[in-house]
Amino acid sequence: MEILFTRSSGLLSGVIRLVDGGRASHVGLAFDSRDFAVSLVLDAGLAGVALTPRSRWLQGRRIVSAFRPVATAEEDRLRQGLARAAEDLGRRYDFVGLLGFAWIRLMFRWLSRKVRNPMASPRRLVCSELVAEALKGAGFILTPETSTPQTLIEWLRTSDHFAREL
């Protein structure tokens, strides 16, 4: 099980990286499915929250960072969070909320304080919110409404519970 951060050559990916100040524009939760005998990725993409075979999910994307739980106990916790996040399958992507993330990052850069996304929908998600919700469901202290790919990478880098692979 791992948390994958990616980027693509698309315009939206470039805008997200510019605003977020990082190398990644997208994040998903990858895990091996015994039932399907394939590696799957749970993410919130433009089509909404979905499960996609890892090989197809990576088409047109480049992994820029990946993190794994450091021990079985952490992996078990993350599996609980993944089960919680799977309840979001089929939810729509929060296009308007994505615009609000620009506000969040600018406020953090200018005032060094986190603010909630004023444009976020409680019924829709972006990729970083889904992963932060899974981590929160696993018992880690995170605020999904203020999470971006870069803030998740920063949190995972400083966490004793995850090891960086890339």
- Residue with token string 């088409």: 59
**Better-predicted residue by pLDDT, 104 or 15:** 15
What's residue 55's pLDDT? Answer: 96
Question: How many whole angstroms separate alpha carbon 133 and alpha carbon 61?
Answer: 23
Question: How many whole angstroms separate alpha carbon 83 and alpha carbon 60?
Answer: 27
Taking only the tens place, the pLDDT of each residue in 107-158 is: 766 666 666 677 777 788 999 999 999 999 999 988 887 788 999 999 999 9
What's residue 109's pLDDT? Answer: 65
Q: Give the predicted TM-score (pTM) of the model.
A: 0.91
What's residue 62's pLDDT? Answer: 97
What's residue 112's pLDDT? Answer: 66
Return the CATH number of the domain spanning residue range 2-164: 3.90.1720.10
Report the DSSP beta bridge partners of residue 23.
none
pLDDT tier, 160 (very low <50, low <70, confident <90, very high otherwise):
very high
Report the DSSP beta bridge partners of residue 28.
4
Can you give the length of the chain in residues?
166
Residues with Cβ within 8 Å of 17's Cβ and at least 6 positions away in sequence, in order, are 7, 23, 24, 25
What's residue 67's pLDDT? Answer: 97
